[in-house]
């Protein structure tokens, strides 16, 4: 029985997301799968990496934990060395919006027509950004101490 993170299999994790959530394939820079009893139940995909910014998409309802957030923050800093992480949240997902704000994310914009053709709140995304100090704080441990020096 394997439970944990699936690393180093970016294409397999991304392919699971595309199939499970009916998504169009896109650029993937790093994909991390969440395994429970050897089954993929969640995934984080870093994409559209520019060297400064990377977009983060997370799939798998009710699967993200504090430990997963810490690991994603460490990946953004140690592997990608970014200054910012951009996150898009469905504008009606109040719970996730609150979590983003508590994590230190800054709301940058509302993107209309993001999830559909009609200009409704149901088709809008809230765009958040986590800047490097907030990412380092989420990463904790070594990263938080390094920021102080």
Three-class SS state of 136: helix
CATH of the domain at 118: 3.40.630.30
Domain count, the chain: 1
Judged by average pLDDT, the poorest of 26-30, 49-53, 108-112 is 26-30
* Under 8 Å between Cβ of 136 and 146: yes
What is the structure's pLDDT at 142? 61
* Paired residues of 84 in beta bridges: 53, 131
pLDDT tier for residue 119 given thresholds of 50, 70 and 90: confident
Instruction: Report residue 124's pLDDT band, with 50, 70 and 90 as the boundaries.
Output: very high
Rounded CA-CA distance 95/17 in Å is 22
Q: Which helix (H) or strand (E) holds 5?
A: strand 4-6
pTM of the model: 0.86
Which domain range does residue 63 map to? 4-148
125-145 pLDDT, tens per residue? 999 999 999 999 999 966 555
Between residues 41 and 24, which one has the greater pLDDT? 41
Mean pLDDT rounded to a whole number for the chain? 89
Give, to the nearest 10 degrees, the angle between helix 132-139 and helix 66-74.
Answer: 130
């Amino acid at each position: 029985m394997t439970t944990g993170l699936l690393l180093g299999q970016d294409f397999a994790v991304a392919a699971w997301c595309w199939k499970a959530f009916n998504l169009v394939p896109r650029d993937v820079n790093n994909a991390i799968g969440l395994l429970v009893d050897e089954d993929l139940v969640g995934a984080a995909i870093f994409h559209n990496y520019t060297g400064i910014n990377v977009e983060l998409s997370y799939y798998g309802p009710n699967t993200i934990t504090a430990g997963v957030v810490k690991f994603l923050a460490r990946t953004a800093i140690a592997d990608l060395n970014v200054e910012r992480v951009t996150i898009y949240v469905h504008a009606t997902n109040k719970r996730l919006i609150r979590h983003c704000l508590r994590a230190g994310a800054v709301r940058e914009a509302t993107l209309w027509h993001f999830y559909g053709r009609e200009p409704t709140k149901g088709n809008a995304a809230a765009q958040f950004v986590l800047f490097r100090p907030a990412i380092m704080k989420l990463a904790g441990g070594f990263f938080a101490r390094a920021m102080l020096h």
